[in-house]
Amino acid sequence: MQSRLIFEQGRRGRRATRLPDGTMGDAAMSKYIPPKNLRTTPAALPEVSEIEMVRHFVNLARKNFSIDTHFYPLGSCTMKYNPKVNESIAGLPGFVAVHPWQPDETVQGLLELLWDMEQALVEITGMARFTFQPAAGAHGELTGLMLVRAYHDKKGNAKTSVVVPDSSHGTNPASTTISGYECVSVKSNARGEVDLDALAGALDDGVAAVMMTNPNTLGLFESRILEIRELAAKHDTLLYYDGANLNALLGVARPGDMGFDIVHLNLHKTFSTPHGGGGPGSGPVGVSERVAPFLPVPLVEKKGGRYVFDYGRPDTIGMVRSFFGNMGVVVRAYAYIKALGAEGLKRVGKAAVINANYLRARLEKVLTIPHPGPCMHEFVASAVKQKAKGVSAMDIAKALLDDVLPAHRARGAHDRADRDRDAGDARRVRRRDRKDRPPCRRERTGVVCRGAADDAGDAPRRGRRGPPPRLALAEKLAG
């Protein structure tokens, strides 16, 4: 049902609240506000009662699609599990009632949290140091590439390009270009992994870094990563790890052990912090020992039982944002890591992989899986068989969205029943030519389709949901 705008509700003179009469008249107000900035006519605001205002915003909120109300497999960026206890912890006065300019001795608890959080990420990733300044993943990428440039400039290396495999994260080419490097794409092989022959041909002494996601965006682990490391080392080329898919490796494998020099993480993707609609996010960047001198300042150091901000780093790239990062996001991620511990994080990684492979097995007889064998935390499915029948991948995706059952990526926060329903809805998407679709009229009880019948030959029934008006749906995708 279409909601009315709040301006279309209420009537003239109706108010949701009444403020005390002011003691300052217009003449007095002009002493404090320049006349050119004072209104000469009342603002065009909605005139509604309190209950009308409350109902309006509550009804808008009920339209939101979220992990709290629906099954939502695409959990990487916005709608994965966000424990509510993390919100309470991040809202404690000691975290929210501090000022970034306070002296170090007055914020020892916050500095200790930053230090402990850095040590946790060092242990999880195998890197040497971390900065929390980047405000999101893309900002972390830019910071990482600034570190790449600082490293090579310090050594006098003349580097002009960055190699980005076609299975890397989609923001990598943009970050490369913004950083002033030429982006060189390398194709995947038949297995969906980086083609080593193509990579070797692209590498030379002018390549500053190789940016990779592992597992890659096809949901496959780069099994020859150690060989890639050796190829890069021959040219003093840094390995950059995009942490978008770190979930699958938690507690099992570490980017540092694979030979990566720079890692950016997404605390909202891997460590449960809410993110979406522009923020807040957090994209901390970790580095190996040889890149650590170039990290943004300040870093937190522990000296004699106290914690201090360290600005004295002569090779630093400087600050990449104001102050020290999105602290509230870091606190939420810290609470999540501490609550789960090492074994709990390992279970999270395993659950993501198991759930994705379960859903993959349920759908492999319906959709085409281009890369055989087990996947990691996600997989790619193709609608090539359905296209031969006139059904595109977009038709399937839109049909699932119309039924409020989007199916894209598997994550660890749903049970088997959710997975079964998700797979079942993908299998039941149907197609009907637009010219054969019966006319539909919307009634208060749902959608009524005149003359429609299901595959078993049932007679039309009131309230039976017919094909969504945007799509042609009727024929089963598979038997």
The pTM of this model reads: 0.76
What pLDDT sits at residue 477?
A: 35
pLDDT reading at 23 higher than 70: no
Q: Band of the pLDDT at 279, cuts 50, 70, 90?
A: low
Q: Report the percentage of the chain scoring pLDDT > 70.
A: 77
Query: Rounded mean pLDDT of 13-42?
Result: 77
Q: Band of the pLDDT at 47, cuts 50, 70, 90?
A: very high
Q: Band of the pLDDT at 171, cuts 50, 70, 90?
A: confident
Q: Band of the pLDDT at 221, cuts 50, 70, 90?
A: very high
Of residues 93 and 287, more confidence is placed in 287
CA separation for the pair 234, 239 (Å, rounded): 12
Of residues 311 and 471, more confidence is placed in 311
What pLDDT sits at residue 460?
A: 35
What pLDDT sits at residue 26?
A: 57
Of residues 69 and 254, more confidence is placed in 254
Q: Band of the pLDDT at 21, cuts 50, 70, 90?
A: low
Query: Rounded mean pLDDT of 432-453?
Result: 34
The full 3-state SS of the chain, as one line of letters, equals CCCCCHHHCCCCCCCCCCCCCCCCCHHHHCCCCCHHHCCCCCCCCCCCCHHHHHHHHHHHHHCCCCCCCCCCCCCCCCCCCCCHHHHHHHCCHHHHCCCCCCCHHHCHHHHHHHHHHHHHHHHHHCCCEEECCCCCHHHHHHHHHHHHHHHHHHHCCCCCEEEEECCCCCCHHHHHHHCCCEEEEECECCCCCECHHHHHHHCCCCEEEEEEECCCCCCCCCCCHHHHHHHHHCCCCEEEEEHHHHHHHCCCCCHHHHCCCEEECCHHHHCCCCCCCCCCCCCCEEECCCCHHHCCCCEEEEECCEEEEECCCCCCCCCCCCCCCCHHHHHHHHHHHHHHHHHHHHHHHHHHHHHHHHHHHHHCCCCECCCCCCCCCCCCCECHHHHCCCCCHHHHHHHHHHCCCCCCCCCCCCCHHHHHHHHHHHHHCCECCHHHCCCEEEECCEEEECCCCCCCCCCCCCCCCCCCCCCCCECCCCC
Query: Rounded mean pLDDT of 130-148?
Result: 95
pLDDT reading at 85 higher than 60: yes
What pLDDT sits at residue 121?
A: 98
Lowest-pLDDT choice from 48-52, 202-206, 272-276: 272-276
Q: Band of the pLDDT at 470, cuts 50, 70, 90?
A: very low
pLDDT reading at 215 higher than 70: yes
Q: Band of the pLDDT at 465, cuts 50, 70, 90?
A: very low
Cα–Cα distances in angstroms (integers) from residue 248 to residues 58, 255, 270, 382, 437, in the given order = 37, 12, 9, 22, 43
What pLDDT sits at residue 479?
A: 32
Of residues 360 and 279, more confidence is placed in 360
Structure confidence by residue, pLDDT tens digits, 326-352: 999 999 999 999 999 999 999 999 988
Of residues 150 and 449, more confidence is placed in 150
Query: Rounded mean pLDDT of 248-267?
Result: 95
Of residues 351 and 287, more confidence is placed in 287
Q: What does the mean pLDDT of the chain come to?
A: 81
Query: Rounded mean pLDDT of 234-261?
Result: 95
Structure confidence by residue, pLDDT tens digits, 340-389: 999 999 999 998 899 889 989 988 888 899 987 899 988 888 999 888 88
CB 407 within 8 A of CB 425: yes
What pLDDT sits at residue 322?
A: 87
**Domain boundaries, given as residue ranges, for the chain:** 6-62, 86-340, 349-428, 430-479
What pLDDT sits at residue 407?
A: 36
What pLDDT sits at residue 278?
A: 57
CA separation for the pair 256, 198 (Å, rounded): 24
Query: Rounded mean pLDDT of 458-468?
Result: 38
**Fold classified for 349-428:** Aspartate Aminotransferase, domain 1 (3.90.1150)
What pLDDT sits at residue 131?
A: 97
Of residues 408 and 179, more confidence is placed in 179
What pLDDT sits at residue 364?
A: 87
CATH numeric code, 86-340: 3.40.640.10
Of residues 26 and 201, more confidence is placed in 201
Structure confidence by residue, pLDDT tens digits, 63-72: 876 667 776 6
Lowest-pLDDT choice from 226-235, 257-266, 430-439: 430-439
Q: Band of the pLDDT at 38, cuts 50, 70, 90?
A: confident
